Structure 1
Amino acid sequence: MTNHKNPHEELTKGDFVEAEKPFELFDEWLEEAKTTEPNDPNALALSTVDPDGLPNVRMVLLKGFDETGFVFYTNLESAKGRELLSAGRAAMCFHWKSLRRQIRIRGEIVQVSAEEADEYYQSRPRGSRIGAWASRQSRPVESRFALEKEVAKYTAKFGIGDIPRPEHWSGLRLIPSEIEFWADRPFRLHDRVKFTRSASSEPWSKERLYP
């Protein structure tokens, strides 16, 4: 007999509301997403604010995390990079439709060490390393051909040798002060749990929220 059990039944249970360690819970949810999301389970919406106070949001990829925070990489001279370094704060949202789950994170932004950025940069495909030199991210470009000319220029410049990391390309770490976990439940009576702390050296407090 065919089993017609709802595949999301277990995933939407509220067991996670008993968790006391947000980073461990994040790790569990991300690992589950890797088995269910068809593309980029580490994708997140990153929200910033420009100097005029107008919000900006775009998708980026999480490249690492631990209890010090959540790391992604970018051109620091891009709109994103300038806004992040200027405001020193940002918000993230992970949404895994297949799991009917969401995680929202807010906190302080700091730049990763040069050693950490170098290590990740050297792990990237060669074409991506050249692209970091060729692209003046967020600034106007007259045509696709103009971009391809820049790629060709740096491809010739570096030949088959080492490609150093540009000074304007690095990693940023969001040190969270808030992490909220959301899971879909029937009739929009969702489960929401928020962890907060006043500083990275302080313990987390937890509260359950109305949906």
Structure 2
Amino acid sequence: MSEAKVALPSMRVSYEAGALNEDSLADTWHEQMQRWFDEAIAAELVEPNAMVLATADPDGFPSSRTVLCKGFDERGVVFFTNYTSNKSHDLKSTRVAAATFPWLGLQRQVNVRGEVEKVTPAETAEYWAERPRGSQLGAWASPQSRVVNGREALENSLNGIERRFGDAEKVPVPPHWGGWRIRPDFVEFWQGRPDRLHDRLRFRRNDDRWTVERLAP
């Protein structure tokens, strides 16, 4: 334990993997996002679509967790979850969220912040059809965020769902499950640089116009 305490203050990496300049930035945040996302895939980063989602309850108490981004375009960033989960309760109450893509292997991160909306039932159905059957059954079986009486309770619930849909060719979308879209007002692209003088370029939305700003590290 004492060795860990001594080691932590001295742990540091000099970020020298690249730079981010205004003249090399894409015209829109989603085009820049696609560019960096493609590079994260090419670099074989582990789960490049993983993002840390931050929400807050009505009292302002924050929560964060890692979820998987399942789409992004000019409208925003999309993920799917149980609509009765803690995160969904937060989103229904505050209507805002933030997310961070931690592409540490490239010494980069992307931060997204804005209002949220549910995706359409058609968008949910389209994604649901691509999910493995096991994941579909799990969405039915799990009372997400609720206290359960051990692992056995979850397995028993899954067994019951498997029997319920055992003869069904397709598993329907649960009524309590679907997608959320973060409609960003701010999207920041962060590139680590030496001496902690990092590059931070932010797209900021003002009505229907976007402005690019450089932030001090």
Q: CA deviation at 1:17?
A: 5.6
Q: What is the one-letter code of the residue matched to 2:200?
A: R
- Name the counterpart of 1:189: 197
Identity, in percent, stands at 45
The match for 1:14 among 20, 26, 30 is 20
- Name the counterpart of 2:155: 148
Hey, what's the Cα distance between the residues in 2 that align with 1:128 and 1:160?
17
Does residue 81 (structure 1) correspond to residue 88 (structure 2)? The answer is: yes
The match for 1:209 among 208, 211, 215 is 215
- Name the counterpart of 1:5: none
Evaluate the alpha carbon distance shift between residue 206 and residue 128 of structure 1 in structure 2; reply closer, same or farther with a 3 A threshold.
same
Q: CA deviation at 1:38?
A: 3.8
- Name the counterpart of 1:108: 115
Evaluate the alpha carbon distance shift between residue 96 and residue 143 of structure 1 in structure 2; reply closer, same or farther with a 3 A threshold.
same
Hey, what's the Cα distance between the residues in 1 that align with 2:72 and 2:148?
34
- Name the counterpart of 1:178: 186
Q: What is the one-letter code of the residue matched to 1:102?
A: Q
Evaluate the alpha carbon distance shift between residue 138 and residue 17 of structure 1 in structure 2; reply closer, same or farther with a 3 A threshold.
farther
* TM-align CA RMSD: 1.4
**Following superposition, which runs of at least 4 residues in structure 1 exceed 4 angstroms of deviation?**
none
Hey, what's the Cα distance between the residues in 1 that align with 2:44 and 2:195?
24
Evaluate the alpha carbon distance shift between residue 168 and residue 144 of structure 1 in structure 2; reply closer, same or farther with a 3 A threshold.
same
- Name the counterpart of 2:65: 58
The match for 1:28 among 22, 26, 35 is 35
- Higher mean alpha-carbon deviation, 11-20 vs 131-140, is at 11-20
- Contact 1:177–1:196 (Cα < 8 Å) also in 2: yes
Q: CA deviation at 1:23?
A: 1.0
Evaluate the alpha carbon distance shift between residue 22 and residue 111 of structure 1 in structure 2; reply closer, same or farther with a 3 A threshold.
same
**What SS is found at the alignment partner of 2:209?**
coil
- Contact 2:128–2:173 (Cα < 8 Å) also in 1: yes
- Contact 2:45–2:103 (Cα < 8 Å) also in 1: no
Runs of 5+ in structure 2 lacking a partner? 1-14
Q: What is the one-letter code of the residue matched to 1:95?
A: P
- Contact 2:55–2:90 (Cα < 8 Å) also in 1: yes
Larger RCO (CA under 8 A, 6+ residues apart): 2
Hey, what's the Cα distance between the residues in 1 that align with 2:117 and 2:173?
19
- Name the counterpart of 1:3: none
